């Protein structure tokens, strides 16, 4: 573990030695390569359509950042404010060109019933469930037969593999009369952008870190592609980031409310929901596990009661067995990861394999908790990210898209430490901003081992 920690610290320091614009140019170059690969290898038409629109803006952003970084490096004294303005302009431009523009295009094509696949099945499943609820029918069906094809034709017999809170995002499409508004991606995207923006604004971190988190969660293909084509994971991630930001600011009750809301949408929020209790502190430096837990329970219990109460069997079938691949109708989630490959090799022993993989994952998590118990919001995020990475690899029905959870959680583990508060509750002054050379690090970014240690030392 010590060797891994040293390797992580060396990698962090080497990356930190690169100018911010060069870092952006590298990220956008990788994003362009991924978008181009999606054009060539993407199996879904909506993935390819997104990539065809996004590859050009990513290339342009990489060129601009690289060219400006070279120009600034030749100047005797850097203009930090001008650099930050450029970065923000590029990120906002990419928000428009790789997220909002392709999303609007897909929504319009779908509203006009153009041929082709303009949306993923998870969106139609949300819309179908909300359609049933609006017409006073149960969301969780006892005998579903498909994965949802449209808000009407698939409304009578489709699975709903989410928790009851996700129904809210289908109500606007179900109640709307305008065809272009009958798409659940509109409320999903709007909610995600608002919550993530609010979370980053209240986080007591430097502006550079705020924009980096926004870049990873929304702008890069890890966020832009799922938001345009599906988007059901982005509200969960947004609320998780909000919960982490509030926990880092030592607001346990508000953090619990945010995590409780995330826990009503998908089970993917629950690893962090549980582990974050170990990292909750109040303004006086006291542990706040009970206050956080009470807030979580106050939100999760009534919402789950609404879903479980009418028919426990239907809830288990839809929200647990179907995502695990234990029903006759198979989940469309598929990737050549370890868990799925084992199930393919031994299809007759699928229930046993699911149980064994689950026990292996649980044993590994319990061992990790005993050895490296999280004690801060950042270490809870890091531990949850690693646990979800492990679970994604072992799950019998999963997809590469679920890797956005460990990516975003590990990003927050490193970057979401407020400078104004120390891990043990001691208030410390925030360093003043200083002008510096373009390639130099800002004072808040210089090998701050206390801020980064929760992920590298504890996890």
The model's pLDDT over 11-39, given as tens digits with 9 standing for 90+, comes to 656 666 678 888 999 999 999 999 999 99
Contact present, 96 and 107 (Cβ < 8 Å): no
Whole-number pLDDT of residue 231: 82
Residue 292: what pLDDT? 96
Note the pLDDT of residue 455: 38
The pLDDT tens digits for 63-84 are: 999 988 877 655 544 466 677 8
Cβ-count burial of 322 within 10 angstroms (0-12 exposed, 13-18 middle, 19+ buried)? buried
Report, as an integer, the average pLDDT of 220-225: 94
Give pLDDT tens digits for 186-199: 999 999 999 999 99
CB 380 within 8 A of CB 374: yes
- Phi/psi for 273 (5° steps) reads -55, -40
Q: 278 or 368: whose pLDDT is higher?
A: 278
User: Considering the chain, what is the average pLDDT of its residues?
Assistant: 81
- Greater pLDDT, 132 or 424: 132
Average pLDDT over residues 85-94: 93
Counting Cα atoms < 13 Å in the Cβ hemisphere of 152 gives: 3
pLDDT > 90: what percent of the chain?
43
Question: pLDDT value at position 438?
Answer: 35
Give yes or no for residue 346 having a pLDDT over 70. Answer: no
Query: What are the CA-CA distances from residue 156 to residues 43, 61, 146, 380 (Å)?
Result: 28, 46, 9, 41
pLDDT of residue 392: 80
- Check residue 450 and give its pLDDT: 38
**Burial class of residue 198 in the structure, from the number of CB atoms within 10 Å of its CB (0-12 exposed, 13-18 middle, 19+ buried):** middle
Confidence of residue 184 (pLDDT cuts 50, 70, 90): very high
pLDDT score, position 6: 63
136-150, 219-233, 235-249: range with lowest mean pLDDT: 136-150
Nearest to 330 by CA among 347, 346, 310: 347
CA gyration radius for the chain?
22
Q: Which of 14, 40, 43 is nearest to 26 (CA)?
A: 14
Report the C-alpha gap between 379 and 301 in whole angstroms.
Answer: 26
Measuring CA to CA, how many Å separate 146 from each of 164, 347, 391? 19, 21, 26
Picking from 224, 46, 223, 42, the residue whose alpha carbon sits closest to that of residue 124 is 46
Instruction: Report the range of poorest mean pLDDT among 45-49, 386-390, 395-399.
Output: 395-399
pLDDT of residue 397: 62
User: Which pTM value belongs to this model?
Assistant: 0.84
Mean pLDDT, residues 84-104 taken together = 93
pLDDT, residue 446, reads: 36
Q: What is the pLDDT of residues 400-438, one digit of tens each?
A: 778 899 999 999 998 987 654 444 444 433 433 333 333
Give the percent of the chain with pLDDT over 70. 76
Choose between 436 and 166: higher pLDDT.
166
* Distance between CA atoms of residues 161 and 135, nearest Å: 20
pLDDT-based confidence at 244, cuts 50/70/90? very high
163, 304 contact by CB (below 8 A): yes
């Amino acid at each position: 573990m010590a060797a891994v920690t040293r390797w992580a610290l060396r990698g962090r320091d080497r990356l930190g030695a690169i100018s911010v614009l060069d870092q952006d140019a590298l990220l956008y170059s990788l994003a362009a390569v991924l978008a181009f690969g999606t054009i060539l290898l993407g199996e879904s038409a909506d993935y390819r359509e997104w990539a065809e629109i996004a590859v050009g803006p990513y290339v342009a952003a990489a060129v601009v950042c690289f060219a400006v970084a070279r120009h600034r490096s030749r100047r005797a004294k850097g203009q930090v404010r001008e650099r930050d303005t450029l970065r923000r302009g590029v990120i906002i431009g990419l928000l428009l060109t790789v997220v909002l523009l392709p999303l609007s295009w897909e929504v319009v094509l779908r509203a006009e019933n153009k041929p082709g696949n303009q949306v993923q099945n998870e969106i139609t499943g949300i819309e179908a469930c909300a359609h049933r609820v609006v017409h006073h029918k149960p969301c969780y069906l006892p005998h579903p037969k498909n994965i949802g094809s449209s808000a009407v034709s698939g409304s009578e017999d489709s699975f709903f593999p989410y928790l009851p809170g996700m129904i809210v995002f289908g109500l606007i499409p179900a109640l709307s009369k305008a065809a272009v508004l009958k798409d659940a991606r509109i409320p999903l995207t709007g909610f995600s952008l608002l919550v993530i923006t609010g979370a980053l604004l209240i986080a007591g971190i430097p502006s550079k870190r705020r924009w980096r988190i926004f870049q990873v969660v929304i702008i890069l293909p890890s966020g832009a592609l799922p938001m345009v084509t599906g988007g059901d994971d982005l509200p969960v991630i947004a609320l998780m980031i909000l919960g982490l930001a509030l926990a880092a600011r030592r607001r346990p009750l508000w953090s619990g409310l945010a995590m409780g809301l995330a826990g009503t949408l998908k089970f993917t929020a629950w690893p962090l929901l549980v582990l974050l209790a170990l990292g909750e502190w109040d303004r006086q430096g006291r542990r706040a596990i009970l206050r956080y837990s009470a807030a979580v329970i106050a939100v999760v219990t009534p919402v789950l009661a609404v879903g479980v109460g009418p028919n426990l069997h239907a809830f288990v079938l839809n929200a647990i067995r179907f995502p695990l691949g234990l029903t006759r109708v198979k989940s469309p989630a598929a990737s050549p990861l370890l868990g799925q490959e084992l199930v393919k090799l031994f299809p007759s022993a699928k229930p046993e394999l699911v149980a064994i993989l689950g026990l292996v994952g649980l044993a590994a998590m319990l061992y990790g908790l005993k050895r490296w118990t999280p004690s801060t919001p950042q270490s809870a995020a890091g531990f949850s990210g690693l646990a979800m990475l492990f679970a994604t690899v072992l799950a019998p029905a999963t997809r590469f898209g679920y890797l956005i959870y460990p990516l975003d959680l590990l990003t927050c583990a490193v970057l979401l430490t407020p400078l104004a508060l120390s891990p043990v509750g001691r208030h410390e002054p925030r360093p003043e901003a200083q002008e510096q050379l373009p390639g130099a690090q800002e004072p808040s970014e210089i090998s701050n081992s206390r801020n980064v240690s929760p992920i590298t030392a504890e996890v």
